[in-house]
Amino acid sequence: MFDVFGVIRHLIHLDRVTIDNVIFSLHSKVTMVILVAFSLLVSKKHYFGDPIDCMVEAISSHTIDMFCWIQSTYTIPALTGDVVGEQVAHPGVSNHDAFGKSKINIGGHQYPIRYHKYYQWVVLFLFLQAGMFYFPHWIWKRLEGGRLRGLVTELDLPCLSDDRKHERMNFALQYFNHYFHHHNVYAYQFFVCELLNFVNVIGQIYLTDKFLDLGFAKYGPRVLNYSQDSSSGHDPMDEIFPKVTKCTFHKFGPSGTIMRHDALCVLPLNILNQKIFVFLWFWFVIVAVVSALGLVFRLATFTPSVRYLLLRSRCRLVPTEKVKAISQRCYIGDWFIIHLLAKNMDQFTLKDFINDLTRTLVEKEHVS
C-alpha cells in the first residue's frame, strides 16, 4: 500500500505561484490524483488477487481463466434479486436451457444477458480519465507561459530586502505601464480552459456510462436507494459489477462433437470496482455542479461592480479609493491578472504595489 501512496505523493505538487483558482485545482489536482490512486489500486494483484479465477472440469484453470478474461463473461440482470442458494447459485447466475447471443432461455422464459468486458480496461480507463482532467490545466500552463511567475518572483516573500523589493516592484510597474489594456486575450484563454473543465467532467460522465454499458448514469442514486431499502432485491452493484459470473467454453469431444462447458468465474476486483465507481459518480456530479457555478461566477466578473468587490476583498490593506481607481481603469484582462497577482503577493507588498500602480496609471493619463 505504501508504494501506491509513494507515487501519489509525487503527484501532489503545490506550486509556489498559483496561476488558476480552487475550482481549476479541483479538476487538475484533486480529481486527477483520485483517479490515478484508483488506477494504481486496481492494478495491484497482491492486494486483491488475480483479476479473474474460473472453475470448470476437464479444462485447465489457466486456459479457462485466459479465455474468459479475453472473451468476457456474462450474467442475467433480471435474476440478481433471486434468492441465492435456492433460485440461483449467485446473483444473476443460473443454469439455462438454451443460449442465444443476447438472450437466454431458462424454464421457458427468456432473459436478456449482460456481458462484462470492462474489467480488462478499468486500469487504463481510469488512468486516461486522470489525463483528461489534467489536460485543461496543461493547456492553460502552456498558454500562460510563466508570465505571472515572472511578475510575482520574490514579491510573495514576506521578508525581502528593500533594494530587491524596489527592483522587483519597478519591473512589475514597468510591465503594466507598457502592457496595460493588453491582457484580454490572456484572460479569455483562461476562461476557455474553465469551460473545457466543465465540458470534460460532463463528457467523462457520458464516457463512463458507455464504458459500463449504460450502467453508470443512474448508478449512484440506485445504490443509495438500495442501501436505504433493499426490499426490491436487485442490488445494482451485483448487476453492474458482479463478483461471480459465467463463461461458456466450447471444445471438441472424443467423438468430434462440440461440447459446451459452463464455467463459474470469480471477479475479486469487482468488490473494489463497486465502491470506486459509486464514489466517482457522486464526485463527478459534485465537480460538475461546482464547475457550473464557477462558470456563472465567471459571467458575473464581466460586471465592473463585481470585479471591484473581488479586488477589494483581496487588497484588504489598500485604501478603498485606490482599489476603486484601479478597477475603473481596468479592462477585464487587466483586472484578471491583477487579481491573480493579489492572490500570490505578500499583503504588505501588495499594498505598496497597488498604490504605486494607481499613481503610475494616473500620471500616464495626465501625460496622454
- The span from the CA of 50 to the CA of 167, in Å, is 62
Cα–Cα nearest to 285, from 31, 41, 22, 20: 31
DSSP state of 28: I
The mean pLDDT values, 10 residues at a time, for the chain of 368 residues are 55 78 94 93 75 88 91 90 85 77 74 88 94 96 94 85 88 92 96 98 97 93 89 84 92 84 91 95 98 97 95 91 91 96 91 90 70
Q: Following DSSP, what letter does each residue of 68-122 receive, concatenated?
A: HHHH-EEE-GGGTTSPBTTTBSBTTB---SEE-SSEEEETTEEEE-EEE-GGGTH
Joined grid coordinates for residue 134: 489534467
Asked if 265 and 54 touch (Cβ cutoff 8 Å), the reply is yes
pTM greater than the 0.85 cutoff? yes
Query: So what's the pLDDT on residue 282?
Result: 98
**Contact by Cβ (8 Å): 13, 115:** no
Residue 295 is which amino acid?
L
Pairing mode of beta strands 53-55, 114-116: unpaired
Contacts of 19 (CB under 8 A, 6+ apart): 140, 141, 144, 148, 149, 340
State which H helix or E strand residue 264 sits in.
strand 258-266
- The bridge status of strand 103-106 relative to strand 109-112 is antiparallel
Which residues lie closer than 8 Å to 6 by C-beta, 6 or more apart?
A: none
First to last CA, the chain: 65
Task: Identify whether the C-beta of residue 73 lies closer than 8 Å to the C-beta of residue 115.
Answer: yes
Q: Give the pLDDT of residue 105.
A: 74
pLDDT at 229: 83
Residues 126 and 129: their CA atoms lie apart, in Å, by: 5
Sheet containing 114-116, strands listed edge to edge, beginning at the edge strand earlier in sequence: 53-55, 258-266, 244-252, 73-75, 114-116
* pLDDT attached to residue 2: 47
Cell matching residue 117: 468486458
Q: What's the CA angle centered on 267, arms 262 and 270, to 5 degrees?
A: 140
CB–CB of 252/258 below 8 Å? yes
Between CA 27 and CA 132 the distance in angstroms is 9
The whole-number pLDDT of residue 58 equals 79
pLDDT given for residue 336 in this prediction: 97
CA dist., res. 101 & res. 176, Å (int): 69
